[in-house]
Amino acid sequence: MAIDPSRGKMHLGAFIHPTGNHIAAWLHPEAQIDAGQNFRHYCQLAQMAEAAKFDMMFLADAVAVRDGKQEALSRWPQYMAYFEPVTLLSGVAAVTEHIGVVSTATTSYNEPYNVARKFASLDLISGGRAGWNVVTSANLSEAFNFGREAHYEHGERYDRAEEFFDVVKGLWDSWEDDAFIRDRSTGRYYDPAKLHALNHKGEHFSVRGPLNVARSPQGHPVIFQAGASEPGKELAARTAEGVFVAGYTLEGAQAFYADLKGRMPKYGRDPDHLKVMPGLNAIAGRTEKEAREKHAYLQSLIHHAVGLEVLSNALAGFDLEGLDPDGPLPPDVYDIVPKGSTSAFRNVTRWAKEENLTIRQLYMRFAGARGQRTLVGSGSQIADNMAEWFLNRGVDGFLIQPSHVPGGLKDFIDHVVPELQERGLFRTDYEGTTLRDNLGLPKPVNRWAARESVA
């Protein structure tokens, strides 16, 4: 495919797992071992990413402690005990000025009004830098914390998510931009004509509104979504402004990119108003040899019990204990219909079939980055690959997942970012003051103001 020289600048997000993305990150002597409870750690990482001109800092979330074999879980502390992300990012926003602050919040085990209020508040606290990653829960354990005996079925999760999003977005339009007069001379604080109740009644939710938080400088938080299923892609085409996805080959990334953006016009949307940013586990060194040594060291820290547990999770909980780790997956694995992450299941079973990988080889590949693409090399080599994907319309940018933090993030900033900047592929300064400014996204028009304008 011919390279398009008009692509402009790519976008970069820093996906911060507490101690790092690698499954054994906490064992690395340079990792912040108490990261899940260390606020200053997150502030330091956000400030590092901001100095490097990253678009955003992104945090994942779950609303349950993982279930599983304690022998493995006690050796895999990632996301077992950590901050609630919107609370954390409100603090991070106070010690940064430009970088976006983006968090996951599930539509499966939340209420729309609470989510709308939290993210609208974060958007105001940060001066217009907030983003919401809209997900349906893949963690089956979450159901038991919210009055349910079983997880939602896949189709029901997405039906609920669509209505959930519509309610949240409607609540964000409760106040028009110029609703607050705050005029002491007349004694009028706001214009009653510019306050609107939603009065939503649907299959899953009944929400009157209005929201008791004003509109932010960017209208409302930037909407992100993760997932590559058919319902997920359709939801993204209708609602998302950024998509986080797993990508493995340029050809596959190009097909996903074209498919997703090709769905947008039927919803009256400009394809440029959605940024596709796959996860990238980049392990950078001054030389390829140094980078490979760093990666090999991290891989050597993977405990067998942890590897089996991670792989079992990807295979919808299939118990691998007692099986020959140097043998293939048993045939009955392929008959499973997963209720959690379908993309992880598809990728692992595809690798097993197409490459005849053993159980050990599968968990060594999957566990390190949980299925995300891994690049190991010098700054120049990694930049070459990123440029190829960007210039050939496979991506609009990347969600960088440092293997361990702060060291892995520093390596990427020191070795890769300058290479991208020298090639004119990444900014040397921020374009504006809001996350929308820096992503090149328009400010959404308040629906009530738009109707008044048409009238």
The rounded percent of the chain whose pLDDT value lies above 90 is 80
Question: What's residue 453's pLDDT?
Answer: 64
Strands of 184-304, DSSP E: 188-190, 200-201, 206-207, 222-226, 242-244, 275-276, 279-285
CATH superfamily for 11-300+372-454 is Luciferase-like domain (3.20.20.30)
Question: What's residue 149's pLDDT?
Answer: 86
pLDDT range class, residue 449, cuts 50, 70, 90: confident
The rounded percent of the chain whose pLDDT value lies above 70 is 97
Condensed to tens digits (0 to 9), the pLDDT of residues 136-179 reads 887 788 989 998 888 888 788 889 999 999 999 999 999 999 99
Cβ-based neighbour number of residue 114 at 10 Å: 11
pLDDT score of 340 more than 80 = no
Question: What's residue 121's pLDDT?
Answer: 98
Question: What's residue 355's pLDDT?
Answer: 94
Question: What's residue 372's pLDDT?
Answer: 80
Enter the tokens of residue 185: 């001379």
Alpha helix segments (H runs only) across 249-334? 250-262, 288-300, 304-314
Give domain limits for the chain.
11-300+372-454
pLDDT score of 190 more than 70 = yes
pLDDT score of 1 more than 70 = no
Question: What is the enclosing helix (H) or strand (E) of 378?
Answer: strand 373-378
DSSP class per residue in 41-91: HHHHHHHHHHHTT-SEEEE---SSPPPS-HHHHTT--TTTS---HHHHHHH
Q: Which amino acid is at 41?
A: H
pLDDT score of 256 more than 90 = yes
Least confident of 148-157, 211-220, 313-322: 148-157
On average, the pLDDT of the chain sits at 93
Question: What's residue 454's pLDDT?
Answer: 63
Question: What's residue 2's pLDDT?
Answer: 43
pLDDT score of 271 more than 50 = yes
Q: pTM score, two decimals? A: 0.93
CA distances from 372 to 28, 77, 99, 123, 403 (A): 20, 19, 24, 29, 11
Question: What's residue 214's pLDDT?
Answer: 97
Mean pLDDT, residues 373-394:
97
Question: What's residue 4's pLDDT?
Answer: 59
Least confident of 138-147, 235-244, 247-256, 388-397: 138-147
Q: Pairing relation of β-strands 56-59 and 100-106?
A: parallel
pLDDT score of 397 more than 60 = yes
Question: What's residue 347's pLDDT?
Answer: 85
CA distances from 409 to 34, 49, 54, 432 (A): 17, 8, 11, 24
Question: What's residue 5's pLDDT?
Answer: 58
Q: Which amino acid is at 57?
A: M
